[in-house]
Structure 1
């Protein structure tokens, strides 16, 4: 491991690498945490002593209002699937929601605020990788120093302009070079702005030098990517409060905000030494669900973006059948199902407040209040049981196929399950379907079955299941495999071994 630098050489660095040791710990924490599984522009990096403190971040704010109204232009709207709830060609609403149409694309991704954040040198990043070797095995080394920006950008939600935030890291190089974009989609972080994954970067005087998310973005950027890590709508680290709950596991707003984050990164890097190229996508857990729906929405919403491949890590793609597991007995995913239910009501309902048909008192009011003010529902659910929490009709329907057609919940779960959504499938993006053999949150048997359903619908999927892995581990245990997968797609290598369910295997980066 790390043939370019021996362990003895790294050991000699220990005495003067104190800040970088902290960076290494941050990286190790990020690689093994729920972050992805829940979870200055002046010249190239030099060889300054790692003991020198990073420079404070700087801010640039664009002129004009944060919620500008876009002009009338944009890509054509594809015709939705037929059906009682499909609406018209222009109406995007589903499940009884207030009708809306998408805003034109012209100003989507406009950068409203940009803050220059921490830089990382090659030596710092390689040392961090070395120190993270207890979490994974890899022979990869950082090839480039990196820079980063925190962006607040224009996106939309239910036909109205809204802003969101994203962390962008990119190679620190001289001369103009083109690098692919890696869109990185995080797992469950929380349900309001205070839980934004980039909040640690936003609040840090030194630009997030030791922040777990920033460290991981920098490592991927050092491999030769422009990394774009959106926080998602409702999880915002800059600007005025969003004002409503993050639409957790609601496919459309997360996919749209993620695609607009890519647009924002492209706009933010105009005039820099890096030119954004094609796009690849990687997401874990909630982010795996998001990655799958980014593929689905991209041809409809951002057809100018070329996505060459994606990785769906432990993705709950089939929420309809995940609900049967989560509501059949009290398991780890039951709490997630509580948050999903509250988020569906918040996002879809013309007048939110239908939770009385899903939760018994006092949970019909205490759950949304808790999600609006904390990053976890655990405290408000302390002592709850399925029988004291869920309305009997909701609990019974959730354990049956298709949610027993219970209105409006069956529609909500159907629309946000990839095998059953009404959003037309246009893409044929080759994707890795990465599962954990011992997943304690997302049901591996459910997703194994979903993989087969999706293949029957024409998805181009490669299956990989990591032996001995719990929910947060496949991205580290299969670190080299999923990076190799994306590199091959960018190189135009045809995907082989498509739609073949294989036994769990020891993934190649599993630590000893």
Structure 2
């Protein structure tokens, strides 16, 4: 893959891309994508002066305005209390989607965790006019009568960064979003949820399975799904220069904010520092001038952004955030075999390691699907994913051990 990163089509936007990588040029995007509006963060995103110490408290909610949603779906945005770790309270915003005509009785939840869009609040999916883009099987979710809760992740100060590829912080934001959505007067939700995530969101989905029993036992997580997951980000960064080049600044910025032993300028190679400082504040997709600027900045230095393996503190923190702890609920990993971003060999290595550690999981592979097309409408994973999720909501047990199957 070339060092310069090209912008993907709109259908891959909120599809939780780890990186804007090779497939469609900006010119093609402009010609083929429907119009997308991006709002600036308004007062809804301002945290209250004295937020509650308890996580998962609904602070405010309102119906989505000027949003394009699938037929039969309505939506809201909510603000709620959460935390990055035991010492770092935060607030977060999420979007909530529900069928216009809800079946009777409390509804189960899909906790959706999106991938890389940027570090700062203005880059988050709740601000775009197509907030469900990238969530697989949207029409089928409506027909099933499920509710989707999609976090933006958390912010300890206005503007950001959010705890990017920091498993504990990502997971807490997702779990607390589901807790807060239960308090919405417009909905009746039960305790059951299945967590879906793609790319960065795949990393956070796996971490949600790790963290949930300890942090949120009141949220009944029945299964976790990682689609092209950034499960071992250190392995990805060490084996894909293009990903390192583009996402290294995000890693350095988030880790230097939340880990006192990581320093931005030490984490970034000297020749990349000027570009990295600017990239860290830019969005990966919209507004369009941001990815265009990122593309230009990545051409100003050769090689990766991050100073691996020389920065021992950074390397140790990346290792710490590998999703290699036990997940007690059913686990599903899905990987496109044409993915140039999260390489299939890296996901296979992760699966092999977890299976050797006696983790129960299913591993599905999808031929001829890359990092974005694996979650596009019509992807072969849609109905199998719905069936797998319905089995979890029905209380069916997952087979013991590890299994692999192509879709």
Q: How does 1:231-270 map to 2 (within 5 A)?
A: 231-234=152-155, 242-268=158-184, 270=185
Aligned to 2:141: 220
In the alignment, is the contact (CA less than 8 A) between 2:153 and 2:173 conserved in 1?
yes
Rg comparison, structure with higher value? 1
Specify the SS of the correspondent of 1:279. Answer: strand
1:38/1:175 CA distance change after superposition, 3 Å: closer
1:149 match? 76
* 2:60 equivalent in structure 1: 113
Relative to structure 1, the CA distance from residue 113 to residue 227 in structure 2 (aligned partners, 3 Å threshold; closer, same or farther) is same
Q: Is 1:60–1:113's contact at 8 Å kept on the other side of the alignment?
A: no
> Is contact 1:280-1:486 (8 Å) kept?
yes
Relative to structure 1, the CA distance from residue 281 to residue 31 in structure 2 (aligned partners, 3 Å threshold; closer, same or farther) is farther
Gaps in structure 1 of 5+ consecutive residues: 1-28, 40-58, 71-106, 126-144, 202-207, 235-239, 399-405, 508-512
1:463 aligns with 2:384: no
The 2-side partners of 1:372 and 1:410 are apart by: 22
Match of 2:30 in 1: none
Whether 1:492 aligns to 2:406 is no
C-alpha offsets along residues 417-471 of structure 1, whole Å, 9 cap, x if unaligned? Answer: 112xxxx63x411111101111110121111011011122232210100011111
CA deviation string 1:83-140 (max 9, x = no partner): xxxxxxxxxxxxxxxxxxxxxxxx3121222111269999x72xxxxxxxxxxxxxxx
The offset of 1:474, in angstroms, is 2.4
Q: Is the 8 A contact 2:205 2:226 kept in 1?
A: yes
Inter-partner Cα distance in structure 2 for 1:256 and 1:333: 26
CA 1:488 to 1:441, structure 2 compared with 1: closer, same or farther past 3 Å? same
Cα deviation, residue 157, structure 1: 2.7
1:182-238: CA deviation from partner (whole Å, max 9, x where unpaired): 00111111111110101025xxxxxx6x8747997676244211110001124xxxx
**TM-score, normalised with respect to structure 2:** 0.79
Alignment partner, residue 374 of structure 2: 474
Q: 1:322–1:498: structure 2 CA closer, same or farther, 3 Å change rule?
A: same
Aligned counterparts of 2:135 and 2:335: Cα–Cα separation in 1: 25
User: How far apart in 1 are the matches of 2:208 and 2:181?
Assistant: 16
**Residues 235-273 of structure 1, C-alpha deviation per residue, up to 9 Å, x if partnerless?**
xxxxx96243233211111111111100110112x4x45
The TM-score normalised by the length of structure 1 is 0.64
Q: How does 1:351-390 map to 2 (within 5 A)?
A: 353-361=263-271, 363-375=272-284, 376=291, 377-386=294-303
SS in 1 for 2:403: coil
In structure 1, the partner of 2:16 is 36
Query: Residues 48-63 of structure 1: matches in 2 within 5 Å?
Result: none
Superposition pairs of residues 263-282 of structure 1, within 5 angstroms: 263-268=179-184, 270=185, 272=186, 274-282=188-196
- Count of paired positions: 364
In 2 relative to 1, CA 66–229 (structure 1 residues): closer, same or farther, beyond 3 Å?
farther
CA RMSD of aligned residues (A): 3.3
In structure 2, the residue matched to 1:416 is: 321
Q: Which residue of 2 aligns with 1:132?
A: none
1:313 CA drift (Å)? 0.1
Structure 1 residues 478 and 110: CA distance shift in structure 2, 3 A: same
8 Å Cα contact 1:111/1:153 also seen in 2: yes
List gaps (5 residues or longer) in structure 2: 1-8, 20-41, 285-290
2:338–2:370 contact (8 Å) kept in structure 1: yes
Q: Is the 8 A contact 1:150 1:166 kept in 2?
A: yes
TM-aligned CA distance change 1:60 to 1:245, over 3 Å: closer
Q: Is the 8 A contact 1:430 1:460 kept in 2?
A: yes
